[in-house]
Amino acid sequence: MEATVQSIFRAGFESYRQQHGLSADQTRAAHAIMQCQTQALGYEEWICFEDGHTEQQLHSCRHRSCPRCQGALTHDWLERTQARLLPCEHDHVIFTLPHELTALWQSNREWCADHLFKASAETLKELLEHERDLGAEVGLISALHTWGRTLSFHPHVHVLVTGGGLDGEQWRAVKNGYLLPVGVLKAKFRGKWLSGLNEAYAAGDMTLPPDWTTQHWTQVLRTIARKTWNVRIQGAYRHGDGVANDLARYLRGGPIKDHRLVSATPQRVTFRYRDHHDHAEKTMALSQAQFLSRVLWHVPVKGQHHVRYYGLYSAGANPKRQQVRDHFGVVEAVPCDTPPQPRRCPTCGRLLFHRVSVRRPISSLRNTAPANVPAPVQQGAQTVPIDPGAAGQKLGAVFFALPGAA
């Protein structure tokens, strides 16, 4: 068996699904991973009219959990984010939930993710807006991760924080490069999370795990209320580019990429990871079912954003960001919009012509016209629908682009 996430899912998912209860999000993610860049999703085809050379490009699934097809989307996000970053120092703050809340998260995935974003952002904003600490509005970029290096369940949020903020029209930098006392940060974050948790439970918005009783719920609350929660401040970084690069690697593609896989058989999957205790690279072996479980644990809820922007980095704060850039005498960076290079024939060097687009019913590309209605494929080209039955398989929409139709 090839050591790829796709191959492992193709080999073991059907038997795994029959033995485990899965959500619609998890099932959808598994099918996307298995069908990505295969004939199941359709393809685009180009031809050279000089020598008949043809090329096909298979469609991608574009699912956030798929490790095969996220390179371009990740690159675009990173370019947009780096263009938005303000020309000041940034701190990197990591908020982690106690492991006692793992079962509760699994039963309330959307609420827990939303509240982790909310509690961490409010903690930073309220403390830094206080005159004692900074007395200004800062910018935050928050990114949710739910996995550890061994694919274990480890929900935490990374927050990129500007090393200063706006007080009216005046820029204030953090004092002596010191963002906040970490002890105060931990206590306030814990208080905000527990307050929201109790309110949601009282309002009936919280679903307890199947094996939890009311007594168990009360005991968990007492335990985590006494603990010192894990909040770390890393920085200050001269600019936020480095942290943004780190975040980009984990935003899409699921908890593990193919390059970390060492071997895969129907019985065992082995992968590499770096131990954060001694920073040594090690390997871990899991059964195929365990590996599938750990990957599926981290499938995001459909429609939920895993990157959120607050304060100076929010969508409506463009005028404030411009004030900061004017203060530093810096012009706003513009993301580089590189046009796609035209395809050329490797034999004669002529431009290839986009001849056919095959879109299956489950394709990630939306069919904008029914299969029996012509739709444009290329400017200046006539499109003619093809009988799907002629291909001997169930297709979505197939269109030929005929030359000389301009």
Q: What is the pLDDT of residues 8-63, one digit of tens each?
A: 999 999 999 999 989 999 999 999 999 999 988 899 999 999 999 999 999 999 89
What is the per-residue pLDDT for 389?
A: 40
Residue 46 is assigned to a structural domain of this protein: yes
**In which element (H, E) is residue 185 found?**
helix 182-202
What is the per-residue pLDDT for 277?
A: 83
357: three-class secondary structure by DSSP = strand
What is the per-residue pLDDT for 395?
A: 47
What is the per-residue pLDDT for 401?
A: 53
Tokens of 80: 């947009």
How many angstroms separate the CA atoms of 274 and 282, rounded? 6
Instruction: Indicate if 54 and 147 belong to the same structural domain.
Output: no
| Percentage of the residues of the chain whose pLDDT score is greater than 90 | 63
Q: Enter the pTM of the model.
A: 0.84
Instruction: Indicate if 115 and 94 belong to the same structural domain.
Output: yes
Instruction: Indicate if 118 and 172 belong to the same structural domain.
Output: yes
What is the per-residue pLDDT for 237?
A: 79
What is the per-residue pLDDT for 399?
A: 54
Which residues constitute the domain of residue 322?
71-255+298-328
What is the per-residue pLDDT for 362?
A: 58
Instruction: Indicate if 56 and 77 belong to the same structural domain.
Output: no
Which residues are CB-contacts of 227 (< 8 A; sequence separation ≥ 6)?
98, 190
List, for residues 167-218, the tens digit of each pLDDT value: 988 999 988 778 899 999 999 999 999 999 999 999 999 999 999 999 999 9
* Average predicted confidence (pLDDT) for the chain: 85
Instruction: Indicate if 91 and 125 belong to the same structural domain.
Output: yes
Instruction: Indicate if 49 and 152 belong to the same structural domain.
Output: no
How many CA within 13 A on the CB side of residue 225? 11
Which residues are CB-contacts of 232 (< 8 A; sequence separation ≥ 6)?
93, 94, 182
Instruction: Indicate if 309 and 235 belong to the same structural domain.
Output: yes
Q: Is the dihedral of CA 106, 111, 115, 118 positive or negative?
A: positive
Residue in 121, 71, 86, 172 with CA at minimum distance from that of residue 305: 121
Residue 39 is assigned to a structural domain of this protein: yes
List, for residues 63-115, the tens digit of each pLDDT value: 999 998 887 888 888 888 888 899 998 999 999 999 999 999 999 999 999 99
Crossing angle of the two packed helices 288-297 and 24-35, in degrees rounded to 10: 110
Phi, psi of 171 (to 5 degrees): -85, 130
List, for residues 123-141, the tens digit of each pLDDT value: 999 999 998 888 999 999 9
Instruction: Indicate if 96 and 80 belong to the same structural domain.
Output: yes
**Count of the separate structural domains present in the chain:** 2
How many angstroms separate the CA atoms of 354 and 381, rounded? 9
Q: What is the DSSP string of 299-324?
A: PPPTT--SEEEEETTSTT-HHHHHHH
